[in-house]
């Protein structure tokens, strides 16, 4: 009897929310095989993996290499051969070389064969996405008959755009929509995904399963949080955020179509918890996937480095985190005690390396050249650059990646020193404004995140949070000597960066026009620094780098 005639009343779908590594085709295939074995043991009929799982997502220009595409196809064929065992079929993403170009594709595997392939149609080309550079759009798809169930497989952006992909699938007889995704995190992204998915459910009248990747890839963090809606718009299930897991769901057919039988609803973190866990996962995967055995952090006694140290210990464990205090004559006694207390609370290695002699040696070496000039920012930057050099020396000697610690407020206005405190391989707080740094620090002191390897309790001393922030590059210096109060600065920056508001609109919010003009000028002026900064976790809708691409040479000012 054909699958068309043999229409089952029960359909067990395993949602595979896992963490592939870009370029590790063999490793991703091994992971897929292991997950399929787990799904088989749980009685699944079909395993739904995420977008481009076998290549890792996003593979970017790797797909321009034919050898890479051949490896991915070979992995698909090997996984297809596995399905001859009579166990669950597979829906899995891979980059495919077609007759006219490369496609972002999914393969449906069953009974030892590649039953069907489907190509992504709506290729995103905004923010962090640039798929039109490397892929071509597929043709409008029809449903795939899988063991008597007509499944529609729109790929990620296919449900976000207005091309009518889901509507076409429904009209062609699809009974359920299975959507593989590579949707990166930003704050409150889950609510946005719900709205997009519900819109398709309402328009098509079909249940929709949204499977999303989890894990860090350079600046992007994929947060998982896979879910499904029944055709009546009820939430069928919700998986965990920031955690790799397999969920086997049972769907029952009735006169109204397919409906999920059980409703496991996982807790979804909000606000500071979600941001903190994104930073933690992003740092962990960047360090581990790039083969670093440990990290080193310049622990100044300030809040940014303290939060980075906490994130690092939570992500990697205290034994993989080395902190270094690098004092100069302007370093306060409270900074000494605060840094030591922070390292002790976190349980990580702590060293003190004074920088007085090398800084004074630089000043001495330049004394003849600088004769007749007044000491100023140049001498201050020598301190930062000496610290950066020492941290890089420790990195070279012990193989520990330097974690850089500048927040988004500082990176926005150039309040950072190239080849100094900007040195480093990765920055977990790069996309957090200063007030968000305070908020996450306060949250961490009261909460131990799920999956954290660090200790519970207060790990960032209260004095670090309460004292006025300072770079301590001259006597009695505070950040507010050079910058507006951080609540004011952050609001202006969010208006300029996230919302692209005009000066007139920002002033209408109650800000001083001269201050707004000054911050706008500093924002544009610091573009050359940001181009040379370490990558860092994307937290906001518009991070520096992938999302916001302004020219370095730029004379525009909103006057």
User: Is 430 known to sit in a ligand binding site?
Assistant: no
- 175 touches 149 (CB < 8 A): yes
Alpha helices in 347-501 (DSSP H): 356-366, 377-398, 408-413, 434-446, 462-466, 486-497
Asked, colleague to colleague, whether 10-268 and 272-479 share their fold, the answer is: no
| 298 labeled part of a ligand binding site | yes
Which range has the worst mean pLDDT, 40-44, 75-79, 94-98, 328-332?
A: 328-332
Architecture of 10-268 per CATH? 4-Layer Sandwich (3.60)
Residues 6+ apart with CB under 8 A from 226: 15, 17, 181, 209, 210, 211, 212, 238, 239, 247
User: Whole-angstrom Cα distance, residue 476 to residue 472?
Assistant: 7
- Backbone phi and psi for residue 524, each to the nearest 5 degrees, phi listed first: -65, -40
Q: How confident is the model at residue 3 (pLDDT cuts 50, 70, 90)?
A: very low
- Cα–Cα distances (Å) from 309 to 137, 206, 269, 301, 302, in that order, read 44, 47, 22, 11, 11
Tell whether residue 305 is among the known ligand binding residues.
yes
243 flagged as catalytic: no
Question: For the chain, which residues make up each domain, given as ranges?
Answer: 10-268, 272-479
In angstroms, how far is CA 292 from the centroid of its own chain?
A: 19
What is the mean predicted confidence (pLDDT) over 238-243? 96
Question: Which of the residues 31, 120, 289, 430 is marked catalytic?
Answer: 120
Work out the percent of the chain whose per-residue pLDDT is above 70: 97
β-pairing, 214-217 with 208-212?
Answer: unpaired
Q: What is the pLDDT of residue 473?
A: 63
Mean pLDDT, the chain, whole residue set: 93
**Per-residue pLDDT tens over the stretch 6-36:** 788 999 999 999 999 999 999 999 999 999 9
Catalytic residue among 51, 175, 380, 520: 51
Checking if the pLDDT of 455 tops 60, the result is yes
The predicted pLDDT at position 186 comes to: 92
Half-sphere exposure of 50 (CA within 13 A, CB side): 33
Q: Is 337 annotated as a binding residue?
A: no
Judged against a pLDDT cut of 80, whether residue 100 lies above it is answered with yes
**CA distances (Å), 61 to each of 25, 131, 193, 509, in order?**
15, 10, 27, 43
Q: Is the per-residue pLDDT at 161 higher than 90?
A: no
- What's the rounded Cα separation, in Å, for the pair 238 and 227? 4
Q: Which residues contact 150 (CB under 8 A, 6 or more apart)?
A: 143, 144, 173, 174, 175, 176
| Tokens at 483, concatenated | 């910058």
304 is in an annotated binding site: yes
Question: Is 156 known to be catalytic?
Answer: yes
554 among annotated binding-site residues? no
Q: What is the pLDDT of residues 484-540, one digit of tens each?
A: 899 999 999 999 999 999 999 999 999 999 999 999 999 999 999 999 999 999 999
pLDDT band at 4 (very low <50, low <70, confident <90, very high): very low
Residue 303, annotated as binding a ligand: yes
126 is in an annotated binding site: yes
The pLDDT confidence band at residue 468, using thresholds 50, 70 and 90, is confident
Q: pLDDT-based confidence at 270, cuts 50/70/90?
A: confident
Averaged pLDDT, 131-136? 89
pLDDT > 90 fraction of the chain, expressed in percent and rounded:
82
What's the confidence (pLDDT) of residue 549?
A: 84
Please state the CATH superfamily assignment of the domain spanning residues 272-479 in this structure.
HUPs (3.40.50.620)
CB 213 within 8 Å of CB 181: yes
* pLDDT above 50: residue 296: yes
- Has 300 been labeled as part of a binding site? yes
Q: Is residue 301 marked as binding?
A: yes
Query: Distance between CA atoms of 120 and 163, rounded to whole angstroms?
Result: 12
**Does position 481 have pLDDT exceeding 70, yes or no?**
no
Looking at 31, 72, 131, 156, which residue is catalytic? 156
pLDDT the model gives residue 472: 57
Distance CA 314, CA 189 (A): 23
This model's pTM is above 0.85: yes
Cα distance between residue 355 and residue 370, in whole Å: 21
Predicted local confidence at residue 1, as pLDDT: 36
Q: Is the pLDDT of residue 163 over 90?
A: no
- Averaged pLDDT, 197-226: 96
**Which residue in 55, 81, 77 sits closest to 67, CA to CA?**
55
């Amino acid at each position: 009897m054909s699958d068309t005639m043999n229409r089952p009343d029960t359909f067990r779908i395993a949602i595979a929310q896992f963490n592939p590594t870009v370029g590790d085709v063999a490793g991703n295939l091994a992971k897929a095989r292991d997950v399929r074995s787990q799904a088989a043991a749980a009685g699944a009929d079909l395993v739904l993996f995420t977008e481009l799982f076998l290549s890792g997502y996003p593979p970017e220009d790797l797909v321009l290499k034919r050898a890479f595409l051949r490896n991915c196809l070979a992995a698909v064929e090997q996984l297809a051969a596995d399905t001859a065992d009579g166990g669950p079929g597979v829906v899995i993403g891979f980059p495919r070389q077609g007759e006219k170009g490369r496609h972002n594709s999914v393969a449906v595997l069953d009974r030892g064969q590649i039953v069907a392939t489907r190509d992504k149609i709506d290729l995103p080309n905004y923010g962090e996405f640039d798929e039109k550079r490397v892929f071509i759009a597929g043709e409008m798809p029809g449903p795939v008959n899988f063991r008597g169930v007509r499944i529609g497989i729109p790929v990620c952006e296919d449900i976000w755009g207005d091309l009518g992909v889901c509507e076409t699938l429904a009209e062609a007889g699809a009974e359920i929509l299975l959507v593989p995704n590579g949707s990166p995190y930003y704050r409150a992204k889950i609510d946005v995904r719900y709205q997009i998915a519900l819109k398709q459910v309402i328009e098509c009248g079909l249940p929709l399963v949204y499977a999303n990747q989890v894990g860090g890839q350079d600046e992007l963090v994929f947060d998982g949080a896979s879910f499904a809606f029944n055709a009546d718009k009820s939430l069928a299930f919700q998986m965990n955020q920031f955690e790799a897991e397999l969920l086997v769901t049972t769907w029952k057919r009735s006169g109204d179509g397919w409906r999920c039988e059980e409703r496991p609803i996982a807790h979804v973190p909000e606000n500071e918890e979600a941001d903190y866990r994104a930073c933690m996962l992003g740092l962990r995967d960047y360090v581990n996937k790039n083969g670093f055995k440990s990290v080193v952090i310049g622990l100044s006694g300030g809040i940014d480095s303290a939060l980075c140290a906490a994130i690092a210990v939570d992500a990697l464990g205290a034994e993989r985190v080395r902190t270094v205090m690098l004092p100069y004559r302007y370093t306060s006694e409270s900074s000494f005690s605060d840094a030591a207390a922070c390292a002790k609370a976190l349980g990580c290695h702590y060293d003190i390396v004074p920088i007085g002699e090398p800084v004074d040696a630089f000043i001495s070496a330049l004394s003849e050249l600088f004769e007749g000039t007044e000491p100023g920012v140049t001498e201050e930057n020598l301190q930062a650059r000496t610290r950066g050099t020492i941290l890089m020396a420790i990195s070279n000697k012990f193989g520990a990646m330097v974690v850089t610690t500048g927040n988004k407020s500082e990176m926005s206005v150039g309040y950072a020193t190239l080849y100094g405190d900007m040195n480093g391989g990765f920055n977990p707080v790069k996309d957090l404004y200063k007030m968000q740094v305070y908020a996450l620090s306060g949250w961490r002191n009261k909460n131990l995140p799920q999956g954290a390897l660090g200790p519970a309790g207060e790990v960032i001393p209260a004095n670090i949070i309460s004292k006025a922030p300072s770079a301590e590059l001259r006597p009695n210096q505070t950040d507010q000597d050079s910058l507006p109060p951080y609540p004011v600065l952050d609001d202006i920056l969010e208006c300029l960066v996230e919302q692209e508001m005009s000066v007139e609109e920002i002033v209408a919010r109650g800000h001083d026009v001269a201050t707004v003009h000054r911050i706008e000028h500093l924002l544009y002026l610091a573009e050359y620094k940001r181009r040379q900064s370490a990558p860092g976790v994307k937290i906001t809708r518009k991070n520096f780098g992938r999302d916001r691409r302004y020219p370095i040479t730029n004379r525009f000012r909103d006057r």
